[in-house]
Chains A and B, each alone.
Chain A
C-alpha cells in the first residue's frame, strides 16, 4: 500500500466543508504563513516602518517644536508642539501601513511573487486570503502603534492613562484603510495606476490638520478636509491623547466603522476580480 492511494481521509475532511466557492474558513493558514515569513526574512522591513513616524516626531516635534513653542491642544489647553503632532503622526502611520499592506503589498504578491496564485490552487478561497492579509496588516499596525505610544511616553508626551486608547484606535483607523485599500487594488492593473494611491495619500497626509489646526483654512476647505478619512483619525487620536472627549469623538469612531463596513463590502464584491481572472 502506498501513501498516495489510501483513504484520503485528510482531504475528504477539507472537501466536506460547505462554505461556498470563496471561503474555506482557513484564514489562519494565511496568517501563519505571514508570521513565518516575517520571522525568517521580513523583520527588517517591519523595523523601518516603526522608525518612520518616530523620526518625524523627533524632527518636526522636537526640532520645529523649538521654534513653534506651545500650541492650543484639543481641549484648548496649552501643550507642546510635539504633543500636538504626535497623535497625528500615529494616525498617519496607521494609514500608511494599512494602505501599503493592502495595496502595494497585495499587488506585488499577486502579480510578481505569484504568492496568491499558489494559495488559490489549494483549499483556500479568495476570502481566506483577504481576511488573512487584512489581519496581518492590523497586527503590524498594532505593533507599530504600541511602539510609537511607548516612544511618546518616553518623550514625556503622554499625560493621561486614557492615551493608551490610542493603540486600539490606531488599529481601527488601519482597519478602515486596509478594508478599502484591498478593494481599490482590485481595479489596478499596472504600476502606473498604483501610483495614484500615493497621489491621494500624500496631500491627505500634509493637509489633514496634521501639523496645524484646521482653523487656518477657509471654511469650504475645512469641509473638504473634514470629509477625508485621515482628518477623523488625526482628530480622534488627538482627542484621546489629551483625554478630551466630545460628541465629535463618537462621530470620528462612527466614520471609521462605516468605512470598515463599506470597505469590506467593496472588497468582498471585488474578490473574484482581485484574485480570479
Chain B
C-alpha cells in the first residue's frame, strides 16, 4: 500500500510563496487543546440543534461525536469550520474564533463533509489543484502534492477521469485526499463512511488510521459504533443536541454497559411479554421490538440459565458489549432507527 510519505523517501518540504523567519509572525503559544467548545449552542428558529455542549480536543487525538441522525453532529462540525454561526457559547480552534478568523482557522482544517461536494465540472486531479488554490497555495507546491495524494487515495490511474465517473468509495477517497491538500492539523470528517460498502469502508479506515499515526487530529462524526470504536481515542455521545456521556470507547462500555450481551429472539409476538420470565438473569434487561438483550458479565452462563428455566429462544447470540449498548442505555433508543 502506498504511504503518504513521498514515494522517493525524501520528505518534500512545501514551498511557501513567502518563507518567513520563525519570529517574523508571532505564533501564539501552542494551545494545549486544538479545539475548545464551551456551552456551544445553535438554534434554527425554534429548533435547538446544538444545546450547550462543551468539549476540548488535544492535538493529535482522534475525537468522535457519536449519535443518531439529527443529534446536532453536523451542525457542530459546521460551527467548527466557521461556516455556521453559533447562537451562543464559545468556540476556539487553534486559539482562534472561527467566526472572526474564518480564513485563518480554515487554513488549518481539512473538511470531509457528509455529502461529497466535489467539483463535478473539473477532472479528478484538477479538483485537488483548484482546491489547493482556494488556500492560496502555489502551483509549484500543489502539483507534486496532488500526485502524492492521488497515490494515497489509490486514484492515480483516475487522475484525468471525470468526477461523476468515480464510484462512491472513490469519490469519498478523493474528498479525503482533497481535504489533505493544505496539510491540515485538524481533519473534520462528517459521517465519512456512510453509504459505502464494507470493503470501501475498511480501505478508508486504513487511510484515516495512517493520518492519525502521522499526528493529524481527527474529529469524526458517525452513527456507526464500530467506526467509533475503530477510530476514536475518545468520544462524546450526543443526542438531541446534548452530550450524554464522554470517554474512550472502552471506558464508556465499562461504565454504561456490561462486558457481554446475550441477545435473544423469541419472535415479535413474545419478545415483549417474555421479560417477566427472564427476570433475574444478568444485570439488566432491555426489551426491543425484535429482540431481548440481557446485559451480563458472562453471556454463556446467562444462556444456560435461560435454558434451565425452560425457555426456548428462536435464536441466541452472545457478543461483547458495544457503543450501541452504551447509546441504548443512555437514551433508551437505538443509534440507527
Which A residues fall within an 8 A CB radius of B? 1-19, 21-24, 26, 29-30, 32-33, 36-37, 40-42, 113-115, 117-125, 272, 275-277
Cβ proximity bits B166-207 to A, threshold 8 Å, 1 near / 0 not: 000000000000001011110000000000000000000000
> Are B119 and A37 within 8 A (Cβ)?
yes
> Are A29 and B130 within 8 A (Cβ)?
yes
B:261-315 near A, CB below 8 Å: none
Contact A4-B130, Cβ < 8 Å, known A26-B136, A114-B115: no
- Residue of A4, A13, A121, A275 touching B136 (CB-CB under 8 A): A13
> Are A3 and B103 within 8 A (Cβ)?
no
Nearest CB to that of B109 among chain A residues? Answer: A121
Q: Chain A contacts of B109 at CB under 8 A? A: 121
> Are B119 and A115 within 8 A (Cβ)?
yes
Given A11-B107, A14-B107, 17 more contacts at CB 8 Å? A3-B145, A10-B15, A10-B137, A10-B141, A12-B16, A14-B135, A15-B108, A26-B134, A40-B122, A114-B115, A114-B117, A118-B119, A121-B83, A121-B111, A122-B106, A122-B135, A272-B85
Asked if B31 is at the interface (CB within 8 A of a chain A CB), the reply is no
> Are A4 and B117 within 8 A (Cβ)?
no
- Residue of A29, A36, A117, A121 touching B126 (CB-CB under 8 A): A36
| Docked CA distance A3–B78 (Å) | 27
> Are B17 and A13 within 8 A (Cβ)?
yes
Q: Chain B contacts of A11 at CB under 8 A? A: 107-108, 135, 182-184
> Are A33 and B103 within 8 A (Cβ)?
no
> Are B83 and A29 within 8 A (Cβ)?
no
Q: Chain A contacts of B108 at CB under 8 A? A: 8, 11, 15
- Residue of B11, B18, B83 touching A120 (CB-CB under 8 A): B83
| Docked CA distance A14–B133 (Å) | 11
Which of B85, B102, B103, B126 has the most C-beta atoms of chain A within 10 angstroms of its own C-beta?
B103
Nearest CB to that of B135 among chain A residues? Answer: A123
Q: How many A-B residue pairs have CB under 8 A?
A: 159
> Are B17 and A2 within 8 A (Cβ)?
no
| Docked CA distance A132–B19 (Å) | 27
- Residue of B20, B104, B117, B185 touching A117 (CB-CB under 8 A): B117
Q: Chain B contacts of A8 at CB under 8 A? A: 108, 183, 185
- Residue of A10, A24, A32, A36 touching B103 (CB-CB under 8 A): A24
B:1-40 near A, CB below 8 Å: 4-6, 11-20, 25, 27
Q: Chain B contacts of A18 at CB under 8 A? A: 104
- Residue of B103, B115, B122 touching A19 (CB-CB under 8 A): B103
> Are B104 and A122 within 8 A (Cβ)?
no
Q: Chain A contacts of B180 at CB under 8 A? A: 4
Chain B interface residue count, CB cutoff 8 Å, equals 61
| Docked CA distance A197–B253 (Å) | 56
| Docked CA distance A23–B106 (Å) | 12
Minimum-distance CB pairs A-B, first 4:
A122-B134, A114-B117, A24-B103, A37-B121
| Docked CA distance A10–B141 (Å) | 9
> Are A3 and B183 within 8 A (Cβ)?
yes
Asked if B247 is at the interface (CB within 8 A of a chain A CB), the reply is no
Asked if B216 is at the interface (CB within 8 A of a chain A CB), the reply is yes
- Residue of A5, A9, A29, A36 touching B14 (CB-CB under 8 A): A9
- Residue of A12, A14, A16, A122 touching B131 (CB-CB under 8 A): A122
> Are A13 and B16 within 8 A (Cβ)?
yes
Q: Chain B contacts of A22 at CB under 8 A? A: 102
Asked if B89 is at the interface (CB within 8 A of a chain A CB), the reply is no
Min CB gap B17→A, angstroms: 6
Min CB gap A17→B, angstroms: 7
> Are B136 and A2 within 8 A (Cβ)?
no
B:62-111 near A, CB below 8 Å: 78, 81-85, 99-104, 106-109, 111
- Residue of A6, A13, A26, A33 touching B13 (CB-CB under 8 A): A6
Q: Chain A contacts of B214 at CB under 8 A? A: 2, 4-5
Nearest CB to that of B24 among chain A residues? Answer: A16
Nearest CB to that of A34 among chain B residues? Answer: B121
> Are A1 and B11 within 8 A (Cβ)?
yes
> Are A21 and B111 within 8 A (Cβ)?
no
| Docked CA distance A228–B182 (Å) | 47
| Docked CA distance A40–B19 (Å) | 34
Contact A17-B117, Cβ < 8 Å, known A9-B19, A277-B84: no
> Are B136 and A6 within 8 A (Cβ)?
no
Q: Chain A contacts of B134 at CB under 8 A? A: 26, 29-30, 33, 119, 122-124
Asked if B120 is at the interface (CB within 8 A of a chain A CB), the reply is yes
> Are B113 and A13 within 8 A (Cβ)?
no
